[in-house]
Amino acid sequence: MSRLEAEGRAPSCWWRFGFWLIIIAGLIILIVWINLRPTGSDIPKCSIEYFYVPALNKTLNSRLNTTLNFMVRLANPNSEQGIYYDDVHLSFSSVTYVFIANYTVPRFYQGRKKKAKKWGQVVPLNNQTVLEAVLPNGLASFRINLKTQVRYKNSFWKTRRFGVVVGAEVGVNGDGVKANKKGIRLKKSDSSSSSSLRSYFPVCVLTNLLVFFAIC
* Window 77-106: contact mask with ligand NAG (x via CB under 6 A): ------------x-x----------x----
Do strands 162-172 and 68-75 pair parallel, antiparallel, or not at all (unpaired)? unpaired
- Who contacts 101 (Cβ-Cβ below 8 Å, separation ≥6)? 68, 91, 92, 122, 123, 124, 125
In order of 58, 123, 159, the CA distances from 64 in angstroms are: 12, 11, 46
Q: Which H or E run contains 26?
A: helix 2-36
CB of 94 to ligand NAG, least distance (A): 14
57 binds ligand NAG (CB under 6 A): yes
64 binds ligand NAG (CB under 6 A): yes
Cα separation of 134 and 39, whole Å?
40
Look at residue 192 and give its three-state secondary structure.
coil
177 binds ligand NAG (CB under 6 A): yes
Considering CB under 6 A, how many residues would be counted as binding ligand NAG?
19
CB of 71 to ligand NAG, least distance (A): 12
CB of 20 to ligand NAG, least distance (A): 45
175 binds ligand NAG (CB under 6 A): yes
- Who contacts 197 (Cβ-Cβ below 8 Å, separation ≥6)? 32, 35, 36
69 binds ligand NAG (CB under 6 A): yes
Which of 2, 59, 155, 194 touches ligand NAG by CB under 6 A?
59
Binding site for ligand NAG (CB under 6 A): 52, 54, 57, 59-60, 63-67, 69, 89, 91, 102, 127, 147, 175-177
